Amino acid sequence: MTYHKEHWKGSVITSPLPPTLVTCAFEDKINVLTIAWTGILCTRPPVTYISVRPERYSYDLIKNSGEFVINLPTKELVRAVDRCGVKTGAKLDKFADCGLHTEECVNVSVPMVAECPVSIECKVKEIVPLGSHDMFIADIVGINAAKELLDESGKLCLEKAGLLAYAHGGYFELGKQLGSFGYSVRKNKKRSEKKR
């Protein structure tokens, strides 16, 4: 199928995105906020980013501590994800408000969200001002993954987690798997066996 497209001015439309719960802390202040502007920048070394508006309460916590944790929420946390995106930690303890609990991390002093099955520990290496948002580029210094999502060989099966996606203002649960990386070029075992 081909599409007949209209041309619009440049805008943010890449979808879907991961609506994550980012935890941050500095001195006696701690907060959790929703960030969808995040992803992977590099594999070796593992590097990620989050983009945050400088006026957000969490911005200074992340800038001053140089650390944050990206927590991947499940469908059960969709209300907390939305609430943490519209409420400010300057006026509200969002952990208490959303019924979330903290757990200590291994390599950073910022806590992770206990209710999230995967938490990614990050140390800021650079802050890039972009306009409405500044990008915190960070090294991934640790991963905390739920044992319940590991198979017998120890492989992480994220498809069992019920993770969220965010697209054009809406939250979605990830759906059925359509393929796996490299499946389009992988040889079909049955076909190769017949050729023998």
Domain ranges of the chain: 20-195
pLDDT value at position 89? Answer: 94
pLDDT tens-digit map of 132-167: 999 999 999 999 999 999 999 999 999 899 999 999
- E strands along the chain, which residues? 20-26, 29-35, 38-42, 47-52, 67-72, 102-103, 112-113, 118-129, 134-145, 164-167, 170-173
Question: Would you state the torsion angle of the CA atoms of residues 164, 167, 169, 175, taken in this order, to the nearest 10 degrees?
Answer: -40
pLDDT tens-digit map of 6-25: 888 888 878 899 999 999 99
What's the rounded Cα separation, in Å, for the pair 106 and 143? 9
pLDDT value at position 190? Answer: 57
pLDDT value at position 38? Answer: 96
- According to the CATH classification, is domain 20-195 in 1.10.3720.10? no
pLDDT tens-digit map of 47-99: 999 999 999 999 999 999 999 999 999 999 999 999 999 999 999 999 999 99
Residue 109 three-state SS: coil
CB 32 within 8 A of CB 89: yes
